[in-house]
Structure 1
């Protein structure tokens, strides 16, 4: 049996995957069920079953795996790197805001029988992401410069467990009848390499900024929220509403350590935490998009907090968030 000379990407099927496919077919399971069991796209499994049949017409995992290795080893130079005419054509069409799909279809229609002047959309995407095309003019209409992960058809194994939906948030939080119900999010710096946590109280519009010098993955977010909200009275740590982003994967630990009851917005529903969205817009005056946020210290964040919290707000009757928070704090202390 041929062995690969280097580990393959997890997107590709391994020999164990192919054996699992064969066992699934023998057991009478469908391709979508098999795909879910091995964590691959169903289209990948369909293609594998179709081209993995051995000389006798039945699916043979060992024969198919050897064939895949042979296909991977064959000399195959990058088409757009080797063909300057094709590269120039693709560059020109991308400059005219054509999509890779439109370019590929146009080439197939206008250059039939010329394999050297044909390219599938994936070839164009890979060349673009690897920098083989003119970076100044060859761009996608979305301005995306790297591949966006796709998980369609694959079971989400890393979803946030046991999320509490925003619809179960207390009515007093929805109606802004009391302080202590917060909305949270991150503002992210250049290349997603730095971030600042933002908390805003729904009733008083009071802002707290969370310093994240060690990064913004789930453990760092947990530690920062626990440490930097510890000075808030328990009566002002009631609920926290957040997007379904993985930085709050450890939300149950945060709840246990802070007392917040955390609720998650629906997917693609930023208006469910609109106060925070508005506040983040104000904060971009201090932390512009496309800049690194690592240079801001705790003192810098505290100064921005003071400015926002001592700025009169029409929604508060021209009072400041700081005044509104002091009033609510006194009322809560008297209860």
Structure 2
């Protein structure tokens, strides 16, 4: 009767169970037990579901969250990445990230990619942060390169990249992941983001940017001489590597 009374005044099963525990009542029930009663024969006959916050006649099954360790398994850790990727010996090893903007810009964002050996940058705009949309766009952008020029991409563990398994069958690209809360492990793309913010501040109207706008920004970044490249530009270094693949 106590539980029913609390339901009638608008308390949720979680609130009822939590308050009973807080007050040290001899009556102890879990919120799952209350839900089972509400949706059981007695609760249905009394129409108790109408007092629940969502007023559903049937309880929806709970979604199971995939543990982060299964989304980004240990064998995809940056520590399992071949040494030649770390030392920038080979061409076609990339880092990827997502540039986020002020809330007023909605869900629009910019994906940033940089090839580790040549520092060649690719930026493309997205209207959605969903992992499916992002990975599809990424594959559309990268598939125009020869496969040896897109061997791997290193990401952080953001939920935007949870559909990484599409990359290998889709465009033949491996995925590696930084440790949690360790963005410095993909320092090349972090550096790219800082330089790109000169043209894409957080309050930029990113949703209004065209593909031509994005290309113009990339051309500026890739056309700037870099000390780490012996004062060549990323465009020059990238083209040299592409020529070697022919």
Shorter chain as denominator, the TM-score bin is 0.7 to 0.9
Distance 1:61 1:224, change over 3 A: closer
The residue that corresponds to 1:235 in the other structure is 148
Distance 1:238 1:61, change over 3 A: closer
Is 1:177–2:149 an aligned residue pair?
A: no
The residue that corresponds to 1:195 in the other structure is 109
Q: Give distance in 2, aligned partners of 1:295 and 1:61.
A: 50
Q: Give distance in 2, aligned partners of 1:202 and 1:4.
A: 62
Paired residue total:
209
Tell me the TM-score normalised to structure 2 length. 0.75
Structure whose alpha-carbon radius of gyration is higher: 1
- Structure 1 residue 14: Cα displacement: 7.0
- Structure 1 residue 254: Cα displacement: 2.8
In 1, are the aligned partners of 2:108 and 2:125 still within 8 Å (CA)? no
Distance 1:295 1:165, change over 3 A: same
Distance 1:5 1:300, change over 3 A: farther
In 1, are the aligned partners of 2:152 and 2:176 still within 8 Å (CA)? yes
1:243-284 C-alpha deviation (Å, 9 max, x unpaired): 110001111123321211111101111110001011100000
Distance 1:209 1:48, change over 3 A: farther
Distance 1:295 1:5, change over 3 A: farther
In 2, are the aligned partners of 1:207 and 1:305 still within 8 Å (CA)? yes
What 5-or-longer segments of structure 1 have no aligned partner? 19-43, 66-72, 74-154
The equivalences for 1:62-77 within 5 A come to none
In 2, are the aligned partners of 1:208 and 1:305 still within 8 Å (CA)? yes
- Structure 1 residue 187: Cα displacement: 0.9
In 1, are the aligned partners of 2:20 and 2:27 still within 8 Å (CA)? no
Is 1:332–2:245 an aligned residue pair?
A: yes
- Structure 1 residue 319: Cα displacement: 0.3
Q: Give distance in 2, aligned partners of 1:219 and 1:240.
A: 17
The equivalences for 1:1-335 within 5 A come to 1-2=4-5, 3-4=7-8, 8=12, 13=14, 49-51=21-23, 53=25, 57=26, 59-60=28-29, 157=66, 159=68, 161-163=71-73, 164-191=76-103, 193-212=107-126, 214-333=127-246
In 1, are the aligned partners of 2:72 and 2:157 still within 8 Å (CA)? no
Higher relative contact order (CA 8 A, sep 6+): 2
Q: Give distance in 2, aligned partners of 1:59 and 1:318.
A: 72
Distance 1:257 1:173, change over 3 A: same
Q: Give distance in 1, aligned partners of 2:86 and 2:132.
A: 29
Tell me, what secondary structure is at the counterpart of 1:184?
strand
- Structure 1 residue 211: Cα displacement: 2.3
Q: CA RMSD in A?
A: 2.8
In 2, are the aligned partners of 1:242 and 1:265 still within 8 Å (CA)? yes
In 2, are the aligned partners of 1:52 and 1:60 still within 8 Å (CA)? no
In 1, are the aligned partners of 2:72 and 2:162 still within 8 Å (CA)? no
What 5-or-longer segments of structure 2 have no aligned partner? 35-50, 52-63
The residue that corresponds to 2:59 in the other structure is none
In 2, are the aligned partners of 1:190 and 1:292 still within 8 Å (CA)? no
Q: Give distance in 2, aligned partners of 1:61 and 1:307.
A: 60
- Structure 1 residue 162: Cα displacement: 4.0
